Structure 1
Amino acid sequence: MRIGDGLAVVSTREIHMPGARGPQRVTPKAMAVLCLLADNPGKVVSRSALLAEVWPGTLPTDDVLTQAVTQLRKAFGAGMGDAAEGKRYIETIAKNGYRLTATVEWLADGESGGKEPGDSPASSAEPAPAPVAASDAPRPRVTRRVFVAGVTVLALAVVSGTFMLMRAARAPAAAVPDPAHGVGAPARPYRLITSAPGFELSPTLSPDASMVAYAATVRGRRGTVILVQTTSSAQPRQLSEPPAADVSDSLPAWSPDGREIAFARTERNGRCRVMIVAANGGGDEREVARCDHNDLLSFDWTPDGNGLLFGTMAGSDPSPGIRVLELATGRWRELDYDVGEDDFDYAPRYSPDGKWIAFVRNPQLGDLWRMPAAGGKPEPLTRLGTEIRGWSWLPDSRSILFGRRVDSQARLYRLDVARGRVDDLGLDDAQSPAVSAPTGMLAFVHRRPQFGIYRVDPLGSPDAPVTRMRLFESSGRDTQPTISPDGRQLVFTSDRSGRFELWHADLSRPRSLRPLEGVRPETRQAPVWSADSRKLLVAGWDERERASIYEVVPETGRATRLPIPLERPLQAVYLPDPTQLLIGAETGNGDMRLILYDRSRTPWRALQVVEGVSQARFDPVRRRVLFTRLSGDGLWQADLELRPESVRQVDATMPARWRYRTWAVTGDGGIDYLHRSPDCRARLSRIDSGAPATYCLDPEKLGSTNGFSVDARTGAVYVALATEDGTDIGFMALPESPVKFLLGIARWLNSFEKSTS
């Protein structure tokens, strides 16, 4: 390809620039990115499209794409005296993607567009032809030999997962329609079938996919109700009838015969019931089970429709594992399978063929497991340790669709159970998938919130008005605000620049706000400041997608990966002794532990371990370690040596195990807990104090669930609140399997050969 003044040779992955000492070789992925951009010169190609096409079958991060673009820019900048000149070739479009700004000419093999590679325009023996736009590029004749080579490459691509690079290398640049012709943006693969303001949640499809039921907020009610509508965007009708305005009906589940819908009803006093109602609304609601409002409740129908399959319940009628409620008798039947004392098995569902039950074990860590439908030994299907945002079996019973939080958004992924392969479906801001197995149709929740960082002034009495001020306006998602011990610096995570990064500001100089390079932060664990406010411990991911802990110096921007002798560290905490660190890490079997390390020697030496810890904090006032557990609600403490005899419970109810990140240590050694109440979406409650107090930070705006902080000197609270929020239900046919997609490409190649031979 002739690209601007340069020549890109796809087969050798070399970019030749005038004045350069020699060709610049780039990685296969970088060349694949260039080919896709060259297919659309002057047009923006989204980051999600580039990631989905160039890194199929993986869970890519924005960093790998950024590195590929940086490599291309350096190659284009070679010979210009400054690698930054390469930015003129590839432009970053904030919050969207990239655009190739240079003209493109596709050339036959062996051509150089009138120049030899590396020649400057003046040194060419003949004048170079003027670059032409991709839409004007001549279509080269494709011979049978080229065609056969293309098919061979395509077959290899099934194994390597890089067929997109080869397709771009063999075909001429696609013509780009002139916008003046009235051609709009490419149609998205789904349509939103709801459009009301507020939230539509937990969709469930009727067996024939003609109807969808979901929980929704409606005007005049504090709680949610169950709505039903056709999947053709018709107006919904209210199915459930909550007895009061503050009662919430949620978690609808459609029966296999399409006649009934089960749902959960939660009242403000904590009463929780599982109800069943006719799907057509022509009957009374009936109660079939009691539950606890503090539970992370989950249930689904048995394949015969005669029972409900429940996940772990820890409330008034506890069960350590998965069990079945027989609707005719009201009896519970425990499934005989291996489940640990601290395990929590969530969202169990039978496979369409009835042979398996899959579930999420310990949702705080988030991995999918599977066992035979009759019970037995469970096996892990994934080892992601992530936030799984809903999941559903696919019709073949060999694949699973699940939502997963990635950086600042949730996306949908397909899991091939037999091979363990995970594919990104390329849907932004999508979660809670629901699949109709008989029809292969998919409904999901589409949510694209915006969060801003607010400072809430020191709290007085619970009845006093709260003063909020938003910091650092943006249209992105700013979360995890962490104030330094001296109260002068703030770091937070954000996608405001189009990629997920760690940002830093000196609060006395708002214009000092900038991203800290060299680390991609983890969304589940907020950064931790050192006592002198000079350094940060940041959980993140390295260039090879390995969980890592970095020590970051904001003043210089230097980020150092710590040599922690663990595969999956998730959190690090400073202690008064500089030779010691607390490390929270996954064990690899669905559990987590807190380890006290001596880092004065290499390799680090583990001094003490506490099992089942989901998050830890250091309280410098009372010189104690505070932590939450995977296995239950509440807060615990231990001494700085983590001695077993020092471990005791501080509070039995707060934080809830599912909000294990929304608590912070205050300057006087107290604990603040951010949660939601029926009358306040962002409520702050004091834990472990002589006079418990509660404050409503904002009655309407939801608080982020991945962390906040308190200024130790002034008591000001730094919190992320939703500035824009709401959800809709998306509806679409399931994307074709990779095999069907490749067969379609093969058919296209065959027709392409016939039309050009």
Structure 2
Amino acid sequence: MPRPTEPPSLHPPSERLRVGDCIVDVPLREVRAPSTRRPQRITPKSMGVLLVLVESAGKVVSRDALLAEVWPDTLPTDDVITQAITQLRKAFGQERGDPRYIETIAKNGYRLLAPVEWLAASAANAPEQPAPVPEAVGDAIAAVPWPATPRRSHSELIVASAVVLLLLGLVLLFAWSRNGNERAKIERDAWLQQPPPASRPYRLITSAPGFELMPSLSPDASMVAYVAVPADQRNTAILVQTTDQSLPRQLTRPTGEAEDSLPAWSPNGREIAYVRMIPGQECQVMVVAASGGAERKVSDCDRRSAPTFSWTPDGRGLIFGSMVTDAGSSGLRILDLASGAWRSVEYRTGADDVDLSPRYSPDGRWIVFVRNGPLGDFWRLPAHGGEAQRLSNLRADIRGWDWLPDGAGLLFGRMTDGIVRMNRFDFHEGLVTDLGIDDVWTPTVALARPAAAFVQRKPYYGLFRIALPDPRQPGVHVAEPIFPSSARDISPMVSPDGRQLAFFSDRTGVQALWWADLANPDSLRMIADVQPRPRYAPAWSPDSRRLLVTGVDTTGRSGIYEVMPASGQAIRLPVPVRDPAEAVYVPDPKQLLVLAGAGDGRLQLALFDRSAQPWRRVANLDDVSHVQLDVTGKRLLFTRQTRAGLWQVDLDLDPASVHQVDGDGPAPDRYRLWNVAADGQVVYLEQLQGCAARLRQLGRPTPPPAICLDQTRRSAPTGFSLAPRDVIYVSLAEWDGADIGFMELPSESEKHAPGWSR
């Protein structure tokens, strides 16, 4: 499937306008309401509806007129207008029953009530411009002293750019006033059809079909090593190229079923360490000269979970994140490459703490690492060991990070509402700043030059229904698309009665919960009362009447919500925990299971009696990353944060009943990709070299043969479900690929430029 086109662009009187108390950035499709911390991005069609309403501000615009203007030459249903209006009202912060911005005229259309003002280009540089938003972390950063950094001045380049933007805005304003409303209509139509001009602070340096992943920059930023499948080969290997988009050179040549990944450039730029994984057999840590040559094995690793590591400052060793043992997490360890000897970093860590992605600071004085994902945070300790100190309180799903060259902060990818965005963490100011770049994974920074590389990956997932063949009599199975869209549709959860489907999708521009009666495709609709957090899939009640979702309501309150799909109503449950992540029904309607943060990123499963007010905690179980109910087996199945495998526990969370069901899966990074069928069988969706989505059973001494659902399309990482009669509902990549991006970081005099200033 071709890559979906990006939203179009428009040239109105100005790039921004004021609607009531809100500021609208037209090219970015962002609305900033005064009560929000960051702008809300809307869909191209929603922006089109808004512009039509703005053009007729104060007048009623019929639904037919909106369809004709925004959806020309198509035959959409009226629902598309309802969805666009709903999104606009949410972006403006309009509450139910208070039509301050958009008024519904029954059986006619809509009217924009708020005053409208196009902002001149000179106002685009005013302080009200949100730009990338610094997040005042408050309790999100610990009070840790760092060396002072002098204030920096603006660069002359920024001043010149502002002048150019001012002149450009005046030219656009003059052109608009000269051509009048007819020109506005023509250009709005063009905005609805054409792609936007390229304007981004980075460039892509790879463009081959498929995936380029896991970049590592050489110290001088002249070269980048990354993972890809070379042309006419089947295995992933390490490739090296210059950062000016030259042709790559294949560095490693795995044979058989081996896959190479996780390259890490040595401090002197002469060697690259990486991991070689042979599925189902072994895991090896390897080192090779950056110029090529003989590879050498330096250590073994756990094949069920690839290690995280980086070089020591002297280039003589590698520091590794926590490794899983039978006794729990091992903490940080250093491998001496000359002798092959291991030594532990001396610091205090709990058996349930998982410390990953350790990196030495540019001056070699500190080690920073991420503790306990997926609600992870940054911690630091002296390079020689000592007391670990918490740097942040983000409780975030961190997708790669690196030090900034001056050691004053970090650059990292952060999963937010299903999208990974680039962030900067400034130690001195205690701020986390969203840099406004979407779909950025695993950033890496060159220490000798202010530059960064990263993966830009924006997969689009579709929903599929697959009738599974009898594994004893293999037959052809067909992946039947359902409720198709050009968006990211994930976490399809079928109700226990097999008649309803709930899933998450950003098809309206924001993550939302969607529901449909499977027997009636026209029943598909969005549940508007709650915006979900898509880390965990929705959980159905045993009677198929209710859903549990983690998210926020229209007032911005976060928590666990109980949704009644028949009415669309969502009720916030009084769960007495601070960071709820997932909730699951149990057979007793008076009880509820809640998975929540227990401090320092750890997750704890709690059983609550909700017949009492406030709810009474009945039992706890530590070290749980995901849980599901097995109704048939009258048990709970769960995965752990600290190790691979599947466990079970009784419904009352009795610690004595905990035992391992399967030791070979799920892997810690695929902790949501398993499901319990109505008959109690447990299936796991894994990714292999010859099968991108393979389904196999867990917890059986002699399981039936695995089934390859799709050889090339990967599954979304957020869950799937089984329906009666061996039918699976799964989210597969309709389009997926990744390129390596490269960007210069601001110099000392440019640190206050947009995106880097406080």
TM bracket, shorter-chain basis: 0.7 to 0.9
Distance 1:173 1:588, change over 3 A: farther
Measured in 2, the distance between the counterparts of 1:158 and 1:616 equals 35
Q: State which of 226, 232, 237 in structure 2 corresponds to 1:214.
A: 226
Q: Find the residue that maps to 2:687 and give its secondary structure.
A: strand
**TM-superposed deviation, 1:622:** 1.6
Q: State which of 689, 698, 704 in structure 2 corresponds to 1:678.
A: 689
Q: State which of 168, 192, 196 in structure 1 corresponds to 2:208.
A: 196
Contact 2:530 2:554 (C-alpha < 8 Å) held by counterparts: no
| 1:597 aligned residue | 608
Could you give the per-residue CA deviations for residues 279-333 of structure 1, whole angstroms, max 9, x where no partner exists?
112x321221121211231111111111111111226999701111122222212
Distance 1:607 1:91, change over 3 A: farther
Which residue type is aligned with residue 560 of structure 2?
A: I
**TM-superposed deviation, 1:735:** 5.0
Measured in 2, the distance between the counterparts of 1:67 and 1:501 equals 15
**TM-superposed deviation, 1:91:** 8.3
Unaligned runs of 5+ in 1: 16-25, 38-42, 102-130, 141-146, 162-166, 747-757
Written as runs of structure 1 = structure 2, the 5 A alignment for 1:200-349 is 200-244=212-256, 246-281=257-292, 283-314=293-324, 320-349=330-359
**TM-superposed deviation, 1:408:** 2.8
**TM-superposed deviation, 1:465:** 2.5
- When structure 1 is superposed on structure 2, of 302-311 and 62-71 the one drifting more is 62-71
| 1:627 aligned residue | 638
Measured in 2, the distance between the counterparts of 1:540 and 1:324 equals 40
Q: State which of 163, 169, 173 in structure 2 corresponds to 1:174.
A: 169
**TM-superposed deviation, 1:729:** 0.2
**TM-superposed deviation, 1:336:** 0.5
Which residue type is aligned with residue 499 of structure 2?
A: R
**TM-superposed deviation, 1:374:** 1.4
Which residue type is aligned with residue 421 of structure 1?
A: L
Q: State which of 417, 432, 447 in structure 2 corresponds to 1:437.
A: 447
Distance 1:235 1:221, change over 3 A: same
Which residue type is aligned with residue 670 of structure 2?
A: R
Could you give the per-residue CA deviations for residues 516-551 of structure 1, whole angstroms, max 9, x where no partner exists?
112111222100111221111111134676641111
Larger RCO (CA within 8 A; separation ≥ 6): 2
**TM-superposed deviation, 1:73:** 11
Distance 1:269 1:645, change over 3 A: closer
| 2:415 aligned residue | 405
Distance 1:139 1:607, change over 3 A: closer
Distance 1:386 1:466, change over 3 A: farther
The yes-or-no answer on 1:697 pairing with 2:680 is no
- When structure 1 is superposed on structure 2, of 361-370 and 396-405 the one drifting more is 361-370
Which residue type is aligned with residue 46 of structure 1?
A: R
| 1:111 aligned residue | none
**TM-superposed deviation, 1:362:** 2.1
Measured in 2, the distance between the counterparts of 1:724 and 1:521 equals 24
**TM-superposed deviation, 1:745:** 12
Which residue type is aligned with residue 174 of structure 1?
A: G
- When structure 1 is superposed on structure 2, of 331-340 and 355-364 the one drifting more is 355-364
Written as runs of structure 1 = structure 2, the 5 A alignment for 1:487-526 is 487-526=498-537
| 2:392 aligned residue | 382
Distance 1:152 1:653, change over 3 A: closer
Measured in 2, the distance between the counterparts of 1:292 and 1:493 equals 34
Query: Over aligned residues, Cα RMSD in angstroms?
Result: 4.3
Measured in 2, the distance between the counterparts of 1:743 and 1:678 equals 43
Distance 1:365 1:653, change over 3 A: farther
Whichever of the two has the greater Rg, that structure is: 1
The yes-or-no answer on 1:422 pairing with 2:429 is no
Which residue type is aligned with residue 207 of structure 1?
A: P
Written as runs of structure 1 = structure 2, the 5 A alignment for 1:58-69 is none
Measured in 2, the distance between the counterparts of 1:492 and 1:701 equals 19
**TM-superposed deviation, 1:81:** 7.9
| 1:185 aligned residue | 197
Q: Find the residue that maps to 1:631 and give its secondary structure.
A: coil
The yes-or-no answer on 1:720 pairing with 2:731 is yes
Q: Find the residue that maps to 1:645 and give its secondary structure.
A: helix
Measured in 1, the distance between the counterparts of 2:323 and 2:554 equals 40
| 1:551 aligned residue | 562
Q: Find the residue that maps to 1:175 and give its secondary structure.
A: helix
Contact 2:135 2:431 (C-alpha < 8 Å) held by counterparts: no
Distance 1:91 1:324, change over 3 A: farther
Measured in 2, the distance between the counterparts of 1:259 and 1:341 equals 36
**TM-superposed deviation, 1:354:** 1.2
Distance 1:597 1:87, change over 3 A: farther
| 2:490 aligned residue | 479
Measured in 1, the distance between the counterparts of 2:482 and 2:229 equals 29
Measured in 2, the distance between the counterparts of 1:545 and 1:66 equals 24
Distance 1:63 1:595, change over 3 A: farther
**TM-superposed deviation, 1:649:** 2.0
Measured in 2, the distance between the counterparts of 1:309 and 1:601 equals 49
Distance 1:613 1:67, change over 3 A: farther
| 2:464 aligned residue | 454
**TM-superposed deviation, 1:467:** 2.4
| 2:579 aligned residue | 568
| 1:115 aligned residue | none
| 1:357 aligned residue | 367
Measured in 1, the distance between the counterparts of 2:325 and 2:736 equals 31
Could you give the per-residue CA deviations for residues 35-77 of structure 1, whole angstroms, max 9, x where no partner exists?
xx4xxxxx54334xx67x9999x67765999999999999999
Contact 2:328 2:642 (C-alpha < 8 Å) held by counterparts: no
Measured in 1, the distance between the counterparts of 2:572 and 2:375 equals 23
Distance 1:255 1:488, change over 3 A: same
Which residue type is aligned with residue 569 of structure 1?
A: P
Q: Find the residue that maps to 1:174 and give its secondary structure.
A: helix
The yes-or-no answer on 1:655 pairing with 2:650 is no
Measured in 1, the distance between the counterparts of 2:748 and 2:696 equals 48
Identity among equivalent positions (%) equals 44
Contact 1:292 1:315 (C-alpha < 8 Å) held by counterparts: no
Written as runs of structure 1 = structure 2, the 5 A alignment for 1:105-124 is none
Contact 1:291 1:316 (C-alpha < 8 Å) held by counterparts: no
Which residue type is aligned with residue 704 of structure 1?
A: A
Distance 1:533 1:285, change over 3 A: same
- When structure 1 is superposed on structure 2, of 543-552 and 614-623 the one drifting more is 543-552
Measured in 1, the distance between the counterparts of 2:619 and 2:502 equals 30
Distance 1:635 1:75, change over 3 A: same
Aligned residue pairs: how many?
A: 656
Measured in 1, the distance between the counterparts of 2:710 and 2:754 equals 54
Distance 1:54 1:332, change over 3 A: farther
Q: Find the residue that maps to 1:581 and give its secondary structure.
A: strand
The yes-or-no answer on 1:373 pairing with 2:383 is yes
